[in-house]
Amino acid sequence: MDVANSTWLWISAAPVVFVVLLQAGLFLRRAWKNGKEMGLSDEQLETGLRTGIISAIGPAIAVLAAMLALIATIGGPVAWMRLTVIGSVAFELPAAELGISQLGYGFGDDGITETAFATAVWTMTLGGIGWLLVAALGTPHMEKARKRIVGGRNKLLPVVTSGAMLGAFAYFVSGEFTSGAPEMGSAAVGGLVMLSLLKVADEKEIQWIREWALGTAMAVGLVVGMALHTVAGGGW
């Protein structure tokens, strides 16, 4: 599918990235100016910027590793646009999968059509604007909304969020479990590697392990999937 990596797609993906840069630039300049007027020292402002930059390097490289999965499935330009701005791997991958599954395909199927690819792009685009619209229109009212919605049930919110995420990803994992032995192996091992790495990171308090947990889980899962494919074929 040459369309997915075509020059036109690169060109069409670039403007939104520039808007994000523009917003970051405007906010940075204004925060710097007002910060000084509020009595923050040059040193504090510089420390804030430097820490933000340094702390972003590790996670950004980790995002790059996960981006390979999106490049493999929906091509470079869309993967680039969705992950430099707007989304995260945890949303974009499921959204793309939901898009192509509308036409009965799964990732890695032979002969995924241009139409299925376009459906995935539309699904990711439309699905991603939910957050953008809530943030664009809702941010000034967030304090009030928060009080009204959460009320006295402050602790229920994380429960509902986790329930929703777990339900959604249980669905995606189930799809992998039922599509074949290599997929099932990859998903199960990916989960186990993630669990063990996060456990080690928590116990020893090593931040970089946490940042690299997803990348490592991906790599090990990929190898297990390939091995099972070689040994046992597709499974069921």
Nearest partner of 88 among 107, 106, 62, 112, judged by Cα: 62
- 40 lines the binding site for other proteins (CB under 8 A): yes
| Least distance to other proteins, CB of residue 187, Å | 4
Interface pick for other proteins out of 16, 181, 201, 209 (rule CB under 8 A): 16
Taking the complex as a whole, the smallest distance from the CB of residue 36 to other proteins amounts, in Å, to: 9
Contacts (Cβ under 8 Å, ≥6 apart) of 220: 189, 190, 193
Q: Is 1 in the site for other proteins (CB under 8 A)?
A: no
Binding residues among 70-99 for other proteins as defined by CB under 8 A: 71-73, 75-91, 93-95, 97-99
- Candidates 15, 111, 151, 152: give the one binding other proteins (CB under 8 A): 15
Measured from the CB atom, the residue of 129 and 206 that comes closer to other proteins is: 129
Number of residues binding to other proteins, judged by CB under 8 A: 169
Q: Which residues contact 103 (CB under 8 A, 6 or more apart)?
A: 113, 115, 116, 119
- Give the residue, chosen from 154, 203, 205, 231, that forms a contact with other proteins under the rule CB under 8 A: 154
Residue from 42, 170, 232, 235 binding other proteins (CB under 8 A): 170
* Among 42, 133, 232, 233, contact with other proteins (rule: CB under 8 A): 133
Kindly state whether residue 212 participates in binding other proteins, applying the rule CB under 8 A.
no
Q: How far is CA 177 from the centre of its chain?
A: 22
Residue 129 in the binding site for other proteins (CB under 8 A): yes
Q: Provide the token pair at 139.
A: 């941010």
Short-list 127, 57, 59, CA closest to 92:
127
- How would you class 34 by CB atoms within 10 Å of its CB: exposed for 0-12, middle for 13-18, buried for 19 or more? exposed
In angstroms, give the least distance from the CB of 152 to other proteins: 14
First to last CA, the chain: 27
Residue from 42, 57, 232, 233 touching other proteins (CB under 8 A): that is 57
Which class for 228: exposed (0-12), middle (13-18), buried (19 or more C-beta within 10 A)? buried
List the one residue out of 212, 192, 204 whose CA is nearest residue 61. 212
